[in-house]
Amino acid sequence: MDGQDLILATGAPGSRWSGTLRAISTNPNINISDERSELEYARDYVTPDGKTKQYGWHRGAYWGPYHNQGQRFDNLQDMTKDEIIKEFKKPYKDFNYGVKIIKSHWFAYHLPLLQDLFPKSKIMAVYMPSDFCFDWWRNKVGGWDISYPHYDWYENDARMIKQINIENTNIENFFDLQQLSIYEVFEKLGLPSEFRSEEELISQDSKLKDLTKNKDYKKVLDNTVHRSFTGIK
């Protein structure tokens, strides 16, 4: 496997990468057979006008230490390619169709290695400035109270700030980061400029169901992608 059906995605905690990747998953070519209810998280909050909204859009498997897949991804250089592929496959009910988005914060430490191991894959990062990332992760999405994915590896606030800075520096050095539309991202990833049907989106998750009530839901998904910086190789 050279990665022709893989998107290897990364972003620092708080970069809003989960929202970007969720928007991409509305493309019908994306394999979403890793999704199940226990791999979901969002934090409810009430707006000043009394409406309930959510921070965070965590859906499907994440790979890394303290997860069921990718537990050694902080030391990816010590794993064989076959071992890595085995971890990629773990959460999928059916790995044999479509394009798989493999999400790991720890890919940010191994970008050149991933490019060498999987030369036909798309390697992708979502970026926001480090101060924004920490504040968004800690104070908006839920910080250490986030139930999924797991942040035990980061240990505490000081180490989280340090590692966010390292991850972002690695991302900045590897990618040409731009604010892109969802259609530009689809094109760079080799995906068609298409979305799943409204029926599929409604069945995919409750937040997508709410979005489809807005006839401009494609614009909302586009804004979700465009608000952060994206790099794709």
* Segment 105-123 mean pLDDT: 98
Q: In the predicted model, is pLDDT for residue 215 greater than 70?
A: no
Q: Is residue 214 part of a domain?
A: yes
If one counts the domains in the chain, the total is 1
CA distance 119 to 215: 39
pLDDT in tens, 193-210: 999 988 888 787 777 777
Q: Is residue 1 part of a domain?
A: no
Model confidence at 231, in pLDDT bands (50, 70, 90)?
very high
pLDDT in tens, 147-177: 899 999 999 999 999 999 999 999 999 999 9
pLDDT of residue 227: 95
Q: In the predicted model, is pLDDT for residue 100 greater than 80?
A: yes
pTM for this one? 0.93
The domain in which residue 155 lies consists of 6-232
Q: Is residue 121 part of a domain?
A: yes
- Say how many C-beta atoms besides its own lie within 10 A of residue 50's C-beta: 6
Q: Is residue 170 part of a domain?
A: yes
